[in-house]
Amino acid sequence: MTQNDLEQVLAWRNHPEIRRYMYTQHEITLAEHRDWFERSSLDPSKHLLIFEVDKIAQGFISINELSFSGVAEWGFYIAVDAAKGTGRQLGLATLNYAFNTLQLRKVCGQAIASNKRSIKFHLALGFQQEGELREQYWDGESYHSVICLGLLNTEWQAVIKGICK
């Protein structure tokens, strides 16, 4: 991700269909977004990526390495008008990068419990549900539970073997 991607990523992030599943639900300003990008760009444990299809940006991914033991969290979103299957392509490409390029041991994700689509997406990629943080997140109106998911490198390698058969 570069400065040139900021406005596109911000537009995706602020879209109501994406924003409603984010922990920060207010509309992010361009100034806030720039500040976040500048801070994140200086942190070597953060990887900010743009997913492209035919050289057209279709999604954003964040990989945040949590420790030197090879554990990271990921987050992502795709363009609201992206073609069916784009999310799966993004997931496969990102996890390949995480495990084979960054040499991570584990990738973790979280989803608000009402975001059934994200939970199903993670499970389809081989993630295991590792827990539930009950009433963890307050959206200004009510509390929501958060589902914690994890995928080990060894599990990912088995997923890839199954896809390549």
22 φ/ψ angles, rounded to the nearest 5 degrees: -95, 155
Q: Each residue of 57-69: pLDDT tens digit?
A: 999 999 999 987 9
Check pLDDT > 70 for residue 165.
no
DSSP characters for 65-107? E-STTSEEEEEEEE-TTPPTTHHHHHHHHHHHIIIIIS--SEE
Provide the 8-state DSSP code for 139: -
pTM of the model: 0.91
Instruction: Provide DSSP, 21-67.
Output: TSS--SPPPHHHHHHHHHHHHT-TTEEEEEEEETTEEEEEEEEEE-S
Q: How confident is the model at residue 75, as a pLDDT?
A: 95
Q: Is the per-residue pLDDT at 23 higher than 90?
A: no
Q: Does domain 3-164 have CATH number 3.40.630.30?
A: yes
Residue spans of the domains in the chain: they are 3-164
